[in-house]
């Protein structure tokens, strides 16, 4: 029984191999974090999971069916994409962005139905951003933009959210609030596949972690067991120590600030 | 919302008034009162038969009305296809000619003038080569489409195709008989509605009307396309299909305008700007506004072309000369824009 799974994926960009035999399994309701240096193929892997790219070899299975056998509309029912705060050229208001989540299910040439408008409104309410509806997207803060894009995914109705570095560009407070939102939604049954540059964020969210290096999975498993001092240092070529706080929570301490004990 | 309906209402009123005024003006001037009287008599059987009913009927319905209707359709078509291309390429400097359609249609028309026996042949050549030019652009984009961005490849394809057909147009001009064919080609390329009659109107009106309406209604899909291909696909939109349909419709519209009236520049570039300044960038509202505004603008310009001087001014020249100051003003005030 595979919920959402990549089997032996190969992919390359113009002869340059990116992924070389990646296996990755996402379980329903789980948060899966992808770790790895810049350019290790995290984004590529996520695009393959979204069906935006086609693997050279290997398959992606969604609910026991090959992802490629889904129509684009069917796929949108199950999987949605939360991009890094998108560059949006036109001055759309937040609500216009959210209701775009319904586009595949609206009828051609017709205005959005009352039901679609309802769905868009309630998904904004769920994230506590209903008051932003009339604001122009460009005038929102980075954190608000991310919430609007998540609301769009909720409106789309897909229970799996694929997020490309959701916290990039956010200030510290917004980063924490966004992670809390993700945790909250996962408890409601949403599934997350997300890439991150912060091992600590993966630790905060728990779930599963896959560490990618040179197109291979270096380590994977439950986050608390997978992310070790050795893994982080190997993955990022750093010198850190993973220490337990008094309440048992692990934190990374770089060598250059480590105090002598 | 109220503000928007008011705006649409006033542009529709502007369009109707300018059409009515345009009906009255010309070599034979008809007063608004006479026009009203005549229409009441004609449509509602009210009042006495006007003393010059046959003459009025001839001037209004056989000569001026077909031309004005054609102007309305062409103005709307150029503006909507310009607006749609600007949305698709997410670039405000794009005009309907971006994929080479205008260059192709111009070359086709010039070639038609050289070798075709009649005006129908000229129109057929213009129409065919408009599409050929876009196919060349798409073909170039397709060859190199695998590497790099689709949009940039399309733009480059368009540049290549435009240059190719401009060069071919020059070849035709160079070879054309300088006393007979060359002036015809040159005048034709300046654009004019003076040749429009019922026959031309009948052949271009339906496809123009239908494509303009269809493209205007594609706004919400164009909105999603402007987020980028990946985003749009993940939202469940068949990006390639939507883009190709929009390109097909915009190409059809542009070639038909060339078929009906030759080259008319600027309308497809400036009207979407002014419309965006009025109603913002949401294509669901922007494209219908483009259609109305473009129609009204071209009716006014065409009326000036017919009446300002004793000879008719080529409309392609007039749209540029009148369009440029308007464009500068619009740019100065453009705050909503692409922001």
| Average pLDDT score over chain A | 89
Closest residue on chain B to A83 (Cα): B231
Q: What percentage of chain A's residues is helix, strand, coil (to nearest 5)?
A: 40, 30, 35
Q: What is the pLDDT of residues B275-295, one digit of tens each?
A: 988 888 889 999 999 999 999
What pLDDT is recorded for position B337?
45
Please name the member of B87, B235, B337 whose beta carbon is closest to the beta carbon of A104. Answer: B235
Q: CB distance B224–A100 less than 8 Å?
A: yes
* pLDDT of residue A155 exceeding 60: yes
Q: Which candidate, A58, A61, A104, places its Cα nearest to that of A81?
A: A104
Q: Give me the CATH number covering residue B220.
A: 1.10.3470.10
The pLDDT > 90 percentage for chain B reads 43
Q: Do A88 and B226 touch (CB under 8 A)?
A: yes
Contacts of B76 (CB under 8 A, 6+ apart): B208, B212, B290, B291, B292, B294, B295
Please answer whether residues B251 and B88 qualify as being in contact, where contact means their C-beta atoms are separated by less than 8 angstroms.
Answer: no
β partners of residue A250 = A244
Distance CA B18, CA B294 (A): 12
Name the minimum distance, in Å, from the CA of A220 to any CA of chain B. 27
> Is B264 a residue whose pLDDT tops 70?
yes
Q: B-chain residues within 8 Å CB-CB of A96?
A: 223, 282
Query: Which pairing describes strands A31-35 and A191-195: parallel, antiparallel, or unpaired?
Result: parallel
| Tokens found for residue A86 | 């998108």
* Number of residues assigned to chain B: 339
As beta bridge partners, residue A212 has A217
Is it the case that residue B338 has pLDDT exceeding 60?
no
Chain A CB contacts of B282 under 8 Å are: 90, 92, 96
> What's the Cα-to-Cα distance from B83 to each of A143, B245, B266, rounded to whole Å?
32, 15, 12
User: Tens digits of per-residue pLDDT, B2-43?
Assistant: 688 899 999 999 999 999 999 988 888 888 888 888 888 888
Q: How far apart are CA A68 and CA B67, in angstroms?
A: 53
Nearest-CB residue to A89 (from B217, B226, B236): B226
Domain count, chain B: 1
User: So what's the pLDDT on residue B335?
Assistant: 52
Which among B226, B236, B288 is the top mutation candidate for probing chain A, defined by the most A β-carbons within 10 Å of its own β-carbon?
Answer: B236
d(CA A57, CA A45): 13
Tokens 């070529």 appear where?
Answer: A237
Cβ–Cβ below 8 Å for A50 and B220: no
Phi, psi of B124 (to 5 degrees): -65, -45
Checking if the pLDDT of B144 tops 70, the result is yes
For B218-247, give the DSSP string.
Answer: THHHHHHHTT-HHHHHHTT--HHHHHHHHH
**A77 chain-B contacts, CB cut-off 8 A:** 236
* Closest Cβ–Cβ partner in A73, A77, A86 for B231: A86
Res. B336: pLDDT tops 50: no
Do the Cβ atoms of A97 and A126 come closer than 8 Å? no
For residue A91, the model assigns a pLDDT of: 79
- Cβ contact A103–B227 (<8 Å): no
Half-sphere exposure of B204 (CA within 13 A, CB side): 29
Measured CA angle at A147 (ends A36, A194), to 5 deg: 20
Mean pLDDT, residues A60-77: 90
Q: Which of A14, A44, A89 to mutate to test the interface with B (most CBs of B within 10 A)?
A: A89
pLDDT band at B166 (very low <50, low <70, confident <90, very high): very high
Count, residues in chain A:
261
Residues of chain B positioned with their CB less than 8 A from the CB of A76 = 234-236
In this complex, which of A77, A89, A103 lies closest to B220 when CB atoms are compared? A103
Question: B282 in contact with A at a CB cutoff of 8 Å?
Answer: yes
pLDDT in tens, A242-254: 888 888 788 888 8
pLDDT tens column, A6-48: 989 999 887 888 888 889 999 999 999 999 988 888 989 999 9
A102 Cβ neighbours under 8 A, 6+ residues apart: A112, A116, A119, A120, A155, A156
User: Which of B90, B221, B282 is opposite residue A96, by nearest beta carbon?
Assistant: B282
- The answer to whether the CB of B94 falls within 8 A of the CB of B60 is no
Q: Does B245 touch chain A (CB under 8 A)?
A: no
Both structure tokens of B204? 């271009």
Which residues 63-92 of A have a C-beta within 8 angstroms of B? 72-73, 75-77, 79-81, 83, 86-92
Query: Coil, strand or helix: which one is B259?
Result: helix
Which residues in A lie closer than 8 A to residue B283 (C-beta atoms)? 90
Nearest CA of chain A to the CA of B32: how many Å? 39
Q: Is-contact B30 B60, C-beta < 8 A? A: yes
Choosing among A45, A62, A90, A157, which should be mutated to test the B contact, i.e. which has the most B CBs within 10 A? A90
User: Which of B328, B311, B288, B334 is closest to B15 using CA atoms?
Assistant: B288
What contacts A128, CB < 8 A, 6 or more positions away? A147
Query: Residue written as tokens 């109603």?
Result: B279
CB contact under 8 A, A52 and B234: yes
Residue B26, SS3 per DSSP? coil
pLDDT score at B60: 84
| pLDDT band (50, 70, 90) for residue B339 | very low
Pick from B235, B239, B241 the residue to mutate for testing the A interface (most A CBs within 10 Å).
Answer: B235
Q: Hey, are the CB atoms on A104 and B237 less than 8 Å from each other? A: yes
- The interface predicted TM-score of the complex, written ipTM, equals 0.88
Contact A243, A258 (CB under 8 A): no
Residue A90 to residue B226, Cβ atoms within 8 A: yes
Choose among A87, A101, A162: nearest Cβ to B235. A101
Could you tell me which residues come within 8 angstroms of residue A50 by beta carbon, excluding any fewer than 6 positions away?
Answer: A79, A81, A162, B230, B233, B234
B87: CB partners within 8 A, 6+ apart: A90, B222, B223, B225, B226, B283, B286
Average pLDDT in chain B: 87
pLDDT at residue A232, as a whole number: 92
> What's the confidence (pLDDT) of residue A85?
64
Q: How far apart are CA B250 and CA B69, in angstroms?
A: 20
Report residue A208 CA to chain centroid gap.
Answer: 13
**A100 and B235 in contact by Cβ < 8 A?**
yes
- In the predicted model, is pLDDT for residue A1 greater than 70? no
Least confident interval from A81-85, B145-149, B187-191: B145-149
Chain A nearest CA to B246, separation (Å) = 13
* pLDDT band at residue A259 under the 50/70/90 scheme: low
Q: How many CB pairs under 8 A join A and B?
A: 86
Q: Quick one: pLDDT at residue A260? A: 60
In chain B, residues with a C-beta closer than 8 Å to the C-beta of A103 are: 220-221, 224, 235-237
Q: Could you give phi then psi for residue A34, rounded to 5 degrees?
A: -105, 125
Least confident of B117-121, B209-213, B260-264: B117-121
CB A77 to CB B235 under 8 A?
A: no
- Looking up tokens 């296809």 gives B81
Over residues A178-234, the pLDDT tens digits come to 999 999 999 999 999 999 999 999 999 989 999 999 889 999 999 989 999 999 999
CA A243 to chain centre: 27
DSSP E strands in chain A: the ranges are: 4-13, 16-26, 31-35, 57-62, 65-66, 79-82, 160-163, 191-195, 208-213, 216-222, 240-244, 250-254
Q: Which domain holds residue B6?
A: 2-338
CB nearest to B233's CB, from A52, A105, A138: A52
């Amino acid at each position: 029984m595979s919920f959402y799974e990549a089997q032996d994926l190969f992919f390359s960009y113009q002869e340059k191999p990116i992924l070389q035999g990646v296996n990755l399994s996402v379980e329903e309701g789980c948060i899966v974090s992808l770790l790895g240096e810049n350019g290790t193929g995290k984004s590529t892997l996520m695009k393959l999971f979204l069906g935006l790219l086609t693997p050279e070899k290997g398959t992606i299975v969604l609910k026991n069916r090959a992802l490629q056998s889904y129509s684009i509309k069917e796929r949108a029912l199950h999987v949605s994409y939360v991009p890094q705060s998108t560059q949006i050229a036109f001055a759309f208001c937040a609500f216009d962005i959210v209701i775009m989540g319904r586009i595949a299910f609206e009828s051609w040439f017709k205005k959005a139905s009352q039901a679609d408008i309802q769905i868009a409104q309630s998904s904004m309410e769920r994230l506590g951003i209903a008051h932003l509806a009339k604001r122009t997207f460009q005038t929102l803060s980075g954190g608000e933009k991310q919430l609007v894009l998540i609301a769009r995914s909720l409106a789309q109705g897909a229970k799996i959210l694929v997020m490309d570095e959701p916290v990039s560009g956010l200030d510290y407070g917004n980063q924490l609030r966004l992670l809390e939102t993700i945790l909250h939604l996962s408890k409601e049954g949403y599934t997350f596949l997300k890439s991150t540059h912060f091992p600590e964020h993966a630790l905060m969210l728990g779930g599963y972690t896959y560490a990618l290096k040179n197109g291979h999975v270096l380590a994977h498993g439950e986050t608390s067991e997978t992310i070790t001092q050795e893994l982080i240092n190997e993955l990022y070529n750093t010198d850190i120590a993973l220490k337990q706080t008094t309440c048992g929570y692990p934190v990374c301490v770089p060598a250059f600030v480590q105090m002598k004990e | 919302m109220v503000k928007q309906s008011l705006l649409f209402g006033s542009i529709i009123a502007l369009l109707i008034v300018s059409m009515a005024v345009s009906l009255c003006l010309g070599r034979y001037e008809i007063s608004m009162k006479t026009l009203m009287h005549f229409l009441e008599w004609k449509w509602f059987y009210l009042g006495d038969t006007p003393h010059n009913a046959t003459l009025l009927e001839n001037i209004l319905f056989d000569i001026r009305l077909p031309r004005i209707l054609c102007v309305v359709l062409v103005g709307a078509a150029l503006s909507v296809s310009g607006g749609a291309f600007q949305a698709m390429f997410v670039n405000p400097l794009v005009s309907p000619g971006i994929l080479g359609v205008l260059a192709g249609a111009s070359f086709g028309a010039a070639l038609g003038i050289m070798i075709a026996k009649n005006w129908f042949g000229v129109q057929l050549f213009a129409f065919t080569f408009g599409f050929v030019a876009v196919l060349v652009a798409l073909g170039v984009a397709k060859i190199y489409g695998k590497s790099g961005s689709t949009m940039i490849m399309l733009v480059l394809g368009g540049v290549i195709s435009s240059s190719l057909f401009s060069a071919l147009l020059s070849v035709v001009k160079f070879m054309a008989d300088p006393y007979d064919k060359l002036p015809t080609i040159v005048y034709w390329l300046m654009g004019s509605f003076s040749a429009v009659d019922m026959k031309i109107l009948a052949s271009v009106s339906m496809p123009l009307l239908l494509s303009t309406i269809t493209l205007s209604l594609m706004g919400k899909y164009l909105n999603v396309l402007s987020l980028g291909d990946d985003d749009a696909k993940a939202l469940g939109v068949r990006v390639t299909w939507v883009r190709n349909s929009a390109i097909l419709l915009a190409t059809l519209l542009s070639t038909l305008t060339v078929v009906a009236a030759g080259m008319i520049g600027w309308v497809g570039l400036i009207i979407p700007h002014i419309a965006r300044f009025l109603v913002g960038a949401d294509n669901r509202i922007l494209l219908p506004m483009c259609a109305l505004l473009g129609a009204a603008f071209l009716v006014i310009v065409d009326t000036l072309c017919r009446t300002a001087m004793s000879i008719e001014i080529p409309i392609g020249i007039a749209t540029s000369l009148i369009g440029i100051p308007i464009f500068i003003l619009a740019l100065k005030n453009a705050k909503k824009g692409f922001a």
